């Protein structure tokens, strides 16, 4: 208890040091050769901008539209990623049919999807959900495949010897066996889904943290950009932590080595 408290001191100090450096660099317009802080807003200016955003009354709307887009895209990625991952991991057929096109689609960055997303979906809302979906899909899919293939074949053989059929093997052996890896994929996917948010909300008309960040850039309101960046960072971190916690509750048997 005391030790974990002690460890918060350097953590907080590290954050404070970063802030101090930022404040000094920005207020004195440091020019470090490769990078220059001449046009970077100071932390105080950012805090002011954040308070301004809070006072404007739009924060709740920005937050709720972004959260609903991220979670809709993420939920779709979760279902499709796990189902496809199970199929690819279990069957050579599914692997040969599904993996090649997915491998081609995987390296395509979210930005490149914007024009097609606008063309393919009836509303810009759906296009945005689709772009956050592409961000979350691949980490979830690939970690699921990895987890399914990592299940010990002896466990499957034992389950067969104990009378398990195909369905029982999937539900009782493959799924729980792959669960730790799937949860890792879900936590990474949560992060990448937020990662794609600014890209997605570039096509938004009004609301969203990503939209707010992008709009601030187009009207050269630098302090607001940093507020948007920090909000996305915090929300992404928070939701990834939430996924990990939930995952830990779902896999009580699984303790990372050395922490048991």
Partner 1 sequence: MSVFQHLEGRIDIRGLSISLGEGRAAFEAVQGLDCQIEPGQFVCILGPSGCGKSTLLGALAGHLQPRAGSLKVDGEDVSSPSPQRGMVFQHHTLFPWRTVRDNVAFGLKMRGIGKAERHEAADEILALVGLEGFAERWPDQLSGGMQQRVEIARVLINRPRLLLMDEPFGALDALTRLNMQELLLDIWTRIRTTVVFVTHDIDEALFLADRLLVMSTRPGRIIEDLRLDFPRPRTSELVTSHEFSRLKRHCLELLRHEDGRQLPRLNPLGLPPENKLPRFAL
Of 101 and 122, the one with the shorter C-beta distance to partner 1 is 101
* 248 binds partner 1 per the rule CB under 8 A: no
Positions in 25-44 near partner 1 (CB under 8 A):
none
Q: Which of 163, 205, 256, 258 binds partner 1 (CB under 8 A)?
A: 163
Q: How far is the CB of 239 from partner 1 (least distance, A)?
A: 21
For 31, list phi and psi in degrees, rounded to 5: -120, 110
What is the closest distance, in whole angstroms, from the C-beta atom of residue 155 to partner 1 in the complex? 5
Residue 229 engages partner 1 in binding (rule: CB under 8 A):
no
Q: Which of 179, 195, 221, 244 binds partner 1 (CB under 8 A)?
A: 179
Angstrom distance (rounded) from CA 82 to CA 89: 10
x-or-dash pattern for partner 1, window 82-121, by CB under 8 A? -----------------x---x------------------
**153 touches partner 1 by CB under 8 A:** yes
**What are the Cα distances from residue 43, in Å, to 25, 176, 206?**
10, 46, 26
Minimum separation from the CB atom of position 51 to partner 1 (A):
41
Q: Which stretch binds partner 1 (CB under 8 A): 17-25, 125-133, 225-233, 250-258?
A: 250-258
- Name the one residue in this structure whose structure tokens are 């809302």: 125
Report the residue from 27, 125, 160, 247 that binds partner 1 according to the rule CB under 8 A: 160
CB of 174 closer than 8 Å to CB of 231: no
Residue 141 burial (CB < 10 Å; 0-12/13-18/19+)? buried
Identify whether the C-beta of residue 166 lies closer than 8 Å to the C-beta of residue 158: no
From residue 194, alpha-carbon distances to 22, 135, 154 in Å are 25, 8, 39
Assess contact for 113 and 106: CB atoms under 8 A.
Answer: no
Q: Which of 31, 56, 91, 158 binds partner 1 (CB under 8 A)?
A: 158
């Amino acid at each position: 208890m005391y030790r974990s408290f002690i460890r918060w001191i350097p953590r907080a100090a590290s954050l404070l040091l970063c802030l101090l450096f930022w404040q000094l660099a920005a207020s004195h317009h440091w020019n470090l050769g490769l990078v220059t802080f001449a046009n970077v807003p100071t932390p105080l200016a950012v805090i002011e901008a954040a308070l301004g955003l809070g006072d404007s009354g739009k924060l709740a709307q920005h937050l709720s539209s972004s959260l609903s887009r991220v979670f809709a895209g993420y939920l779709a990625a979760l279902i499709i990623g796990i189902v496809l991952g199970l199929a690819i991991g279990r069957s050579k057929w599914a692997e040969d049919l599904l993996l090649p096109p997915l491998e081609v689609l995987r390296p395509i960055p979210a930005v490149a999807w914007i024009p097609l997303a606008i063309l393919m979906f009836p509303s810009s809302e759906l296009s945005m959900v689709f772009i956050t979906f592409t961000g979350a899909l691949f980490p979830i899919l690939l970690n699921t495949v990895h987890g399914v293939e990592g299940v010990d074949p002896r466990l499957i053989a034992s389950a067969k010897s104990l009378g398990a059929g195909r369905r029982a093997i999937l539900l009782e052996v493959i799924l729980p066996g792959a669960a730790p890896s799937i949860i890792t994929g879900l936590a990474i996917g949560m992060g990448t889904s937020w990662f794609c948010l600014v890209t997605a909300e570039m096509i938004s008309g009004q609301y969203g943290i990503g939209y707010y960040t992008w709009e601030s850039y187009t009207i050269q309101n630098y302090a607001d950009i940093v507020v948007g960046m920090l909000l996305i960072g915090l929300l992404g971190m928070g939701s990834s932590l939430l996924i990990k916690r939930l995952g830990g509750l779902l896999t009580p048997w699984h303790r990372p080595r050395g922490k048991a």
